[in-house]
Amino acid sequence: MARKISFINYKGGVGKTSLIVNTAACLAKAGKRVLLFDFDTQSNASIWLLRLERWNLLNTSGKGAIFSIFESSETRVKDCLVRDVVKGKSGESLLPGLDLVPTTFNLVDLESDYRGNPQRPPFTIFQEQLAEIESDYDFILFDCPPNILRASQCGIFCSNEVFVPANPDALSLIGFTLLVEKLQKFHQISAGFRRTGMGPIAQVCGIVFNAIKPEMDIDVPKMRMQLRMNQFKNQRRVAQNAKIFNATVRDATVVRRAVTLGLPVTLLGRVGDDADNVQNDYMRLANELIQHASAF
């Protein structure tokens, strides 16, 4: 059964997309079958992995992007799959095993203009369609925006685990706290829609510190995060196996460059110590994720 994981924090810009894209790539490199969903209308993960030219075609037509499953009952999630999304210049697959369901800017319409049947909120439509393909994967990852509106709800409803990217600062801690509150509210309103076989509701299982600069002392922010997590654990508002990951990801220019190059960091090859080190960070994170007992 696929592990289904949302990456989310109510704080924006903490590294959700960078972590999910690079972790997904490392999982695929380790031989796992990985499907990444982009649920952020900014389309950052989609533009990164498809590169601008391929993504522009999709954005212009709107066909094959996740919003199309809500526009027409004839389009299903499986029709939006981009298999082995990372391609070289001649279209050859550079990373077999990493598939993407992309988004385009029209996903924003799901939050404002969408008029569906209230008895069938978008997350139920998505869940039914995901069920058709999930056995093809070991990991299904959802890149969420910093909120739990309709798009994120699709990922969260189907996930059994939530990972929280964080920077070592007070705002990330506030974002985590708000996330736990909003998750609880969403689980309350969506409880009646759950079906047997979906597994446990998605609670926070892990916090990952990202973009750590060499001079940063992360002990104090880590301790504050741990205290907050302990409180939530006692209140049973996060998973009982929730932890702060030992693996952290350093701040490295190459992470920003990777977006421009349209490749995950792990495929950049040997381009200096900075890149080698951060590649190892992502690989350690992926291995820890594999080892971390899932919510089941």
Ligand X SMILES: Nc1ncnc2c1ncn2[C@@H]1O[C@H](COP(=O)(O)OP(=O)(O)OP(=O)(O)O)[C@@H](O)[C@H]1O
The footprint of ligand X (CB under 6 A) covers: 12-18, 40, 42, 44, 145-146, 210-211, 249, 251-252, 255-256, 259
Look at strands 98-101 and 34-38 and give their pairing.
parallel
* Site pattern 39..68 for Mg ion (x: CB under 5 A): -----x------------------------
Span near Mg ion by CB under 5 A; candidates 13-21, 129-137, 204-212, 252-260: 13-21
10 versus 137: smaller Cβ distance to ligand X: 10
Residue 284 φ then ψ, to 5°: -60, -40
Instruction: Pick what 13 binds: Mg ion, ligand X, none; C-beta below 5 to 8 Å, kind-dependent.
Output: ligand X
13 versus 88: smaller Cβ distance to ligand X: 13
Give, rounded to a whole angstrom, the gap between the first and last alpha carbons of the chain: 11
| 127 binds Mg ion per the rule CB under 5 A | no
3-class secondary structure per residue, 63-93: CCCCCHHHHCCCCCHHHHCECCCCECCCCCE
Nearest approach, Cβ of residue 107 and Mg ion (Å): 13
Task: Name the maximum alpha-carbon separation found in the chain.
Answer: 54
186 versus 209: smaller Cβ distance to ligand X: 209
Nearest approach, Cβ of residue 39 and Mg ion (Å): 10
Strand, helix or coil for residue 98: strand
Give residue 148's Cα distance to chain centre.
13
3-class secondary structure per residue, 16-49: HHHHHHHHHHHHHHCCCCEEEEECCCCCHHHHHH
141 versus 201: smaller Cβ distance to ligand X: 141
Query: Does residue 159 contact residue 142 with C-beta atoms inside 8 Å?
Result: yes
| 16 binds Mg ion per the rule CB under 5 A | yes
Chain positions contacting Mg ion, by CB under 5 A = 16-17, 44
